Chains A and B, each alone.
Chain A
């Protein structure tokens, strides 16, 4: 039973990690990364490491995507300004 859970969560991690690489738009990538964080948190919980799962959930699913989205917004804003001046 536990082995099946480990396998399922491992596949979920592999699938979402691949999706994070395949998706090329950074804003979408941030969202996929947050799902990847969730999948990793599930994997760590199944492997009986709830402390790591909590860190992963807080950093991987909330903080990192937020930082990426903010960076994307900054870059896009600059691009828009430069286009407007042309």
Chain B
């Protein structure tokens, strides 16, 4: 295909998209309006299942199947990264050199480490009540662990982070979500239906039925997936070198 033809195809595609996008934008409801048909229905459905955070109800109750898809995307992406960034035959592992960390940075990281871990756990556990949930809390938990890399060195991080355990946790979190979905069948309803356990008392930790359980599964999956992902990147950046003469 010549350059000219390619540019023509690009122009047609771009113009088509621009026209359709402009037409779609003209039909959008006004910015910041206070009436929203879908929003009202979502709030009603969330309150019916005693879930204070409507976003969590949409993600883990009304649209729980979509979240399973998103969780699986992360799972597959991390799996692909692990395969791509593995140590190949032409590469060797060199022990990371200990680095000198400024005292201020070290203190800051070590003070912040427990705080960040508690915040992460809080965000996962309160997903059904306040903004946040499994994904956000999971990422906070995983990045919190890497404060050890900033505050000490790579060796210290490696000692508290056996990658095998986190790989297992990644798969277990993904599996737990599926099992919770299948439990819907056992309870006599449909896949991922929020009818397995009671809906609990509104605005308490034990509310929302399966929403907090699914949040925990996602939190575990995301935290472990991000740790494994960063471990592969860190190994490549710090430890793995190409063999000389290749």
Looking at B11-19, B131-139, B166-174, B186-194, the stretch in contact with chain A turns out to be B131-139
Known interface pairs A54-B132, A73-B237, A77-B237; A66-B146 also in contact (CB < 8 Å): yes
Q: How far is the CB of B133 from chain A (nearest CB, A)?
A: 7
Q: How far is the CB of A20 from chain B (nearest CB, A)?
A: 20
Contact of B135 among A2, A55, A62, A70 (CB under 8 A): A55
Within 8 A of A (CB), among B109-151: 123, 131-133, 135-136, 139-140, 143, 146
Bitwise, A52-86 to B at CB < 8 A (1) or not (0) is 01110011001100110011011001100100010
Looking at B40-48, B61-69, B175-183, B226-234, the stretch in contact with chain A turns out to be B226-234
Within 8 A of A (CB), among B7-60: 32, 53, 55-56
Chain A residue nearest to B31 (CB atoms) is A6
Chain B interface category by residue count: 20 to 34
Known interface pairs A54-B132, A55-B136, A78-B242; A63-B233 also in contact (CB < 8 Å): no
Q: Decide yes or no whether B201 CB sits under 8 A from chain A.
A: no
Within 8 A of A (CB), among B189-243: 226, 229-230, 233-234, 236-238, 241-242
CB pair A58–B140 under 8 Å, yes or no, is yes
CB pair B234–A54 under 8 Å, yes or no, is no
Chain B residue nearest to A62 (CB atoms) is B143
Residues of B within 8 A of A67 (CB): 229-230, 233
CB pair B237–A74 under 8 Å, yes or no, is yes
Within 8 A of B (CB), among A19-69: 50-51, 53-55, 58-59, 62-63, 66-67
Q: How far is the CB of A1 from chain B (nearest CB, A)?
A: 12
Known interface pairs A51-B131, A70-B237, A71-B237; A58-B242 also in contact (CB < 8 Å): no
Q: How far is the CB of A80 from chain B (nearest CB, A)?
A: 11
Q: How far is the CB of A10 from chain B (nearest CB, A)?
A: 11
CB pair B237–A50 under 8 Å, yes or no, is no
Pairs A–B under 8 Å by Cβ, sample size 14: A51-B53, A51-B55, A54-B131, A55-B136, A58-B143, A59-B139, A63-B226, A66-B143, A66-B230, A67-B230, A67-B233, A70-B234, A71-B233, A81-B242
Residues of A in contact with B (beta carbons under 8 Å apart): 2, 50-51, 53-55, 58-59, 62-63, 66-67, 70-71, 73-74, 77-78, 81, 85
Lowest 10 A-B CB distances belong to which pairs?
A: A50-B131, A58-B139, A54-B136, A70-B237, A70-B233, A73-B237, A51-B55, A74-B237, A51-B131, A62-B143
Residues of B in contact with A (beta carbons under 8 Å apart): 32, 53, 55-56, 123, 131-133, 135-136, 139-140, 143, 146, 226, 229-230, 233-234, 236-238, 241-242, 244
Q: A55-B139, A78-B242 are in contact. List 15 more A-B contacts (CB 8 A).
A: A2-B32, A51-B53, A51-B55, A53-B131, A54-B123, A54-B136, A55-B135, A58-B136, A63-B226, A67-B233, A71-B237, A73-B238, A77-B241, A81-B241, A81-B242
